[in-house]
Structure 1
Amino acid sequence: MKKNLPTATKRNSAMKVLSAEQMKVVDKQTIQEEGFLSIDLMETASTAVVRQLNKDFDTSQTSFVILCGIGNNGGDGLAIARLLTEQGTDVTIFLQLHQQYSSDNIINQQRCAEHDIMIRSFHIDERLSISPNAIVIDALYGYGLSRPLSADWAFLIDSINTLPNTVVAINMPSGLQADQHTDTQSPIIKADYTYTFQSPKLALLQPANGEYIGIVTVLDINLSPIAIAQQHSSYHYITIDYVKQSIRKPSHFSHKGTFGHALILGGSFGKMGAMVLSSKAALRAGCGLVSCYIPRCGYTVLQTAFPEAMLMTDDKERTLSIPPENLSTYTALGVGIGMGTSIEAQGFLHSLLASIGQLINKPSLVLDADALNILSFHPDWLTLLPEGSILTPHPKELERLIGPWTDDFNKLQKVRVFASKYKSIVLIKGANSAIVLPHGDIYFNSTGNWGMATAGSGDTLTGILTSLLAQKYTPEQATILGVFLHGLAGDLAIQQIHPHSLIASDIIAYTSSAWRYLYNQNCTR
């Protein structure tokens, strides 16, 4: 399986996730600045779509059926149809029959007529005749949809969703609202690909919408950088340009002490593999030293599997019970991996947090897995977290911490409250992992693939995050860089390994390749 890898541009910031209203403002300002017409911007956007279609498909051997609505999204579809036809691609256009169309839609209808391109009309209650080999382009509704589609659309959209055809949505799958939760009982196109313009839309980053959006590609349509910069957004999409700003170029005179000392605490009987993965990932991510604190039963396992690590053992044979001394000698701690939730493990975590609280120079802290489950048992212990702690829950661990949510948008708001209250960073793991900062900004990751949904993947991420903290990256920098690096390693791995066969050890093995890739993208610091 191949995946397009991120490439550097000239941006120095994360890509803003803009709302539908903000996109309209940016569109309008771009038109004013450039001194051209809205139809010219539509042509630019449509050209970008055709360019991407030529990358993703063999358009010389493929036919397309383009479904066009009455507004500007339909205008995009008509322009795309004309541009595809001009390059020799077989295209069929279906345009919704209506009494009123947007002005740019009408212009593109006229342009199709000038090129002798036939436009077929359709009613929303009819079944369209579509060849099973054609690629369907959904240009019915874009990001401007302010409410769910009515039930009148159900027959048409359900008939499209049951087709075997590949579906490409332009800007947004029709029926999906860009900035708020959409009731999944309403009609929504299920796209295999979504080509969205200039900025990701918040709905395209939410797990619950995965079945509708497919593979999302953000197309640069040259909207005004000034206009975009003037739009405030607390949502950001992590780009390689943003990540590489924070990467440091080591000095020729650096030594292992320069890169920090990480301590990974965890493990229990039968779960020592998690500690092997996490500690290996930490050292691969670049810290100078890794120490592990484990139950006595894991000594031979870890010493044999990972001789580069230094080991300390708890007095207990099968679980952790008492934290080690001299915690201030470590730059960063990662805790919870494979630890279990026994009474002894619960006491261990409380003692560890209390001990950290008494230190003048507190090490940075990552909490994962059973450390999070224990905190959900004892929510009053959350006040013991040092400021800037990084919590890395998967969805079920998150639910145990903050309670259930009504939808993905509600989830983000609840996590915002939690992160602000406890002055911590919450990393919600999954596709487009969301990093919720204490001040309320949210960063969505752009790397990673479904093959990384495998046992031990989270353990490797904890090791990487702890390693970056040990190297004196700030908690915000470490989380953003760590998540991106972890996902990039997975993306590089599936260039050689099928996602079905990807395991956590592969992610560790390709971490070096991920670093090399980042440094090769003109990282000079």
Structure 2
Amino acid sequence: MKVLSATQMKQVDALTLQGEGISAIDLMERASKALFTQLNKDLDLGNTSLVIFCGPGNNGGDGLALARLLHDAGHQIFVYLLTRHRYSPENITNQKRLLDKGIIVEKIDPTTVIEIPSDALIVDAFFGSGTSRPLSSDWKKFIGYLNSHSNTRVAIDIPSGLIADAHVDQHSPVIKADYTYTFQSPKLCLLLPENARYIGEVVVVDIGLDQLAMKESGTSYYYTIREDIIDMIPKFNRFAHKGTFGHAFIVGGSFGKIGAIALSCKAALKTGCGMVSSYIPACGYAILQSSFPEAMVLTDEDTNSLSTVPDNFLSYSSIGIGMGMGTDQKAQQALFLLLSKLSEQQNDIPLMVDADALNILAIHPEWLKLLPPLSILTPHPKELERLIGPWKNDFEKLQKALYFSNTYEVITIIKGANTAIVFPDGQIHFNSTGNWGMATAGSGDVLSGMISSLLAQGFSPQDTARAGVFLHGLAADLTIRKIHPKSLIASDLIEHISSAWDTVAPMR
């Protein structure tokens, strides 16, 4: 699914009107009906009253049209319209439609004092994605008042005060929504961690915009959904054998951190590669053989740390390195040897780099040039900062990560909510699955094993990154159907990888 800018969405709106031969007010009516349906789906409106705040543009027009539909359905509504000298034509039309039904629309400004019923649902239709600058300080008191209520707040398109495609200072007034109903395509501002406190649960509401116009709109931003993953998965072959699905080589571990490798190896096999071999310090041999007998184990000559790499590692289908590895001098030497040998050989073996291997690369940035093209790096935010330097906001973070990926021709996975996958060609793909229960020890090790497995199976690095992150998050979403997110541990993710596969590639 494409993530389009505010300007592009306006263009798609216009092409929809032209292609269908309808007017803007007709499209607004379609949008308001979709909003009405979504509200009733997500919330038990019952006898709840609704307080709807509308601006002067088409976002306000959507709110006015929604107010009429709610009134017709028997709900008590209170409609407030921002005082302006000019309103959009569609806004004016919906003002008249409310007036014809005898519905009072009260004019307000940011200094107006309003009493909001304690049980009312607040709907924010002030500005949406049409605004191109932060709200002035005049709005601080009014928006602060709305945000101080315990009432549920729903924002139409984006919470008022945010800008669809740009950073907004943390001191700027912004509505804090519990639900954001955004039209047709996610907006970039809704996918970034810095705006988490404003957006609540984001729902993409389909309002039937022209699909050809959406398809032809150029963008660097995408939002990965289930249908995207389904298209990547090859048909199953009943004559396949374990060699068909590749042999993943998982490298890492140190004294006290062999569990990271156990998690990665198990996740790799559960994700579908035919075989897994691990390379670990000698101290972990008995642990791994007894805890996960399906994995083959090779050991380093050093007892507690990696110090070298085996001669035959180039024979594997994929390599994953870094989990629990440590950053001592011996581990640094082992990583350098592996990268040096990979850079010397002709046929690139797909590589996944995680955890301490990333921290070692931050210590030795000159080694980044040794990474095979399209290697997949999976940093959490602190590891990313060590690689690319600090950032002022999430928009700058994406640009710095993009420069890094382009410079070293690697795929950078920025782990977190809406995990961002940065391709060296400039594309950035955000993920739609996952939940806060994944913020637990070992979750990243599971992802590393899954990515190593998909690479071994022959998925392209680009498809591997998107599918691995999606399935990882989906496994977590399926887990919390059975247990509370607070109780989720990494092993639970592994146990639900099969269910995640069944969601995107069912056998029945």
TM-score bracket for the superposition, by shorter chain length? over 0.9
1:210 aligns with 2:196: yes
SS at match of 2:128: coil
Cross-structure match for 2:329:
343
- Counterpart of 1:456? 442
Offset at residue 406 of structure 1 (A): 1.6
1:260 equivalent in alignment to 2:249: no
Confirm whether residue 150 of structure 1 aligns to residue 136 of structure 2.
Answer: yes
1: CA distance, partners of 2:275 / 2:13: 51
CA contact (8 A) 1:237 1:443 kept: yes
SS of the equivalent of 1:185 reads coil
Q: Does the CA-based 8 Å contact 1:332-1:363 persist in structure 2?
A: yes
Q: 1:517: Cα distance to partner?
A: 0.9
Is residue 516 of structure 1 aligned with residue 484 of structure 2? no
2:114 and 2:306 map into 1 onto residues whose CA distance is: 64
Secondary structure of the corresponding residue to residue 16 of structure 1: coil
Instruction: State the alpha-carbon separation in 2 of the partners of residues 457 and 185 from structure 1.
Output: 33
Tell me the secondary structure at the aligned position of residue 506 of structure 1.
helix
Deviation, 1:360, is 2.7
Do the aligned partners of 1:266 and 1:294 also contact (CA within 8 Å) in 2? yes
> Secondary structure, in 3 states, of the residue corresponding to 2:387?
helix
* Aligned twin of 1:243: 229
Corresponding position: 1:407 with 2:393: yes
* Cα distance in 1, alignment partners of residues 49 and 244 from structure 2: 58
The farther-off stretch of 355-364 and 375-384 is 355-364
The runs of at least 4 aligned residues of structure 1 exceeding 6 Å deviation read none
> In structure 1, what is the equivalent of residue 22 of structure 2?
36
Contact residue 328 and residue 362 of structure 1 kept, 8 A: no
Structure 2 residue identity aligned to 1:429: K
TM-score by length of 1: 0.95
Q: After TM superposition, give the deviation of residue 100 of structure 1 in Å.
A: 2.1
**Would the aligned equivalents of 1:126 and 1:155 in 2 still touch at CA under 8 Å?**
no
Identity score, percent: 56
* Counterpart residue number, 2:305: 319
Q: 1:287 maps to what in 2?
A: 273
Tell me, in whole angstroms, the C-alpha distance in 1 between the residues paired with 2:413 and 2:432: 14
> Aligned match of 1:471 in 457, 464, 485?
457
Q: Separation in 1 of the partners of 2:449 and 2:103?
A: 58
Which one-letter code corresponds to 1:380 in the other structure? E
Question: Is 2:444 the counterpart of 1:444?
Answer: no
Shift of 1:166: 1.1
Alignment partner of 2:470 out of 459, 484, 490: 484
Q: Give me the whole-angstrom Cα distance separating, in 2, the residues matched to 1:303 and 1:90.
A: 66
Q: CA separation in 2, counterparts of 1:387 and 1:353? A: 12
Aligned 8 A contact 1:96 1:123 in 2: yes
**Is the 1:127–1:159 contact (alpha carbons within 8 Å) kept by the matching residues of 2?**
no
- Are 2:96 and 1:114 aligned? no
Match of 2:257 in 1: 271
| Contact 1:124/1:153 (<8 A) preserved | yes
Which residue of 1 is the match for residue 186 of structure 2? 200
Task: Output the CA distance in 1 between the equivalents of 2:374 and 2:310.
Answer: 22
Using the TM superposition, give the Cα deviation of residue 88 of structure 1 relative to its aligned residue in structure 2, in angstroms: 1.7
Is 1:89–2:75 an aligned residue pair?
yes
Residue 502 of structure 1 corresponds to which residue in structure 2? 488
With over 3 angstroms needed to count, the CA separation of the structure-2 counterparts of 1:448 and 1:329, relative to structure 1, is same
Q: Matched residues in 2 for 1:293 and 1:156: separation?
A: 60
String of CA shifts for 1:433-462, please: whole Å, max 9, x gaps: 111111111111011111111111110000
Q: Residue by residue, what CA displacement relative to the aligned partner does 1:48-69 show, whole Å, maximum 9, x if unpaired?
A: 1111101111122322111111
Tell me how far 1:226 sits from its aligned partner.
Answer: 1.7
1:377 aligns with 2:387: no
How far did 1:180 drift? Answer: 0.7
| Aligned residue pair count | 508
CA distance in 2, matches of 1:521, 1:399: 42
Structure 2: distance between partners of 1:521 and 1:254:
15
Structure 2: distance between partners of 1:481 and 1:80 = 38
1:100 corresponding residue in structure 2 = 86
The amino acid that maps onto 2:141 is F
Over residues 48-107 of structure 1, what are the superposed CA-to-partner deviations in whole Å (9 max), with x where a residue is unaligned?
111110111112232211111111111111111111111122221111223322111111
Give the Cα separation in 1 of the matches to 2:406 and 2:394.
18
Q: What SS class does the counterpart of residue 520 from structure 1 fall into? A: coil
**Within 1, Cα distance between the matches of 2:251 and 2:76?**
61
Q: Distance in 2 between matches of 1:430 and 1:96?
A: 37
Deviations, residues 316-340 of structure 1 (Å, cap 9, x unaligned):
1111001112112200000000101
Task: Read off the aligned partner of 1:79 and give its amino acid letter.
Answer: A
Deviation of 1:375 after TM superposition, in Å, equals: 0.2
2:373 to 384, 387, 408: 387
Q: Which amino acid aligns with 1:442?
A: I
Matching of residue 133 in structure 1 with residue 119 in structure 2 = yes
The 1-side partners of 2:134 and 2:407 are apart by: 34
Counterpart of 1:412 in 2: which secondary structure?
helix
If asked which structure has higher relative contact order (CA below 8 Å, sep 6+), I would say: 1
The alpha-carbon deviation at position 122 of structure 1 amounts to 1.8
Q: Deviations over 1:180-202 (max 9, x none)?
A: 11112111111111000011111
Deviation at 1:521, TM superposition (A): 9.9
Deviates more, 1:293-302 or 1:61-70: 61-70
Letter aligned with residue 53 of structure 2: L
1:168 aligns with 2:154: yes
Counterpart of 1:299 in structure 2: which amino acid?
Y
Q: Which amino acid aligns with 1:267?
A: G
Moved more, 425-434 or 349-358: 349-358
Correspondent of 2:344 among 358, 363, 381: 358
1:407 maps to a residue whose letter is N
Task: Point out where structure 2 has 5 or more consecutive residues left out of the alignment.
Answer: none
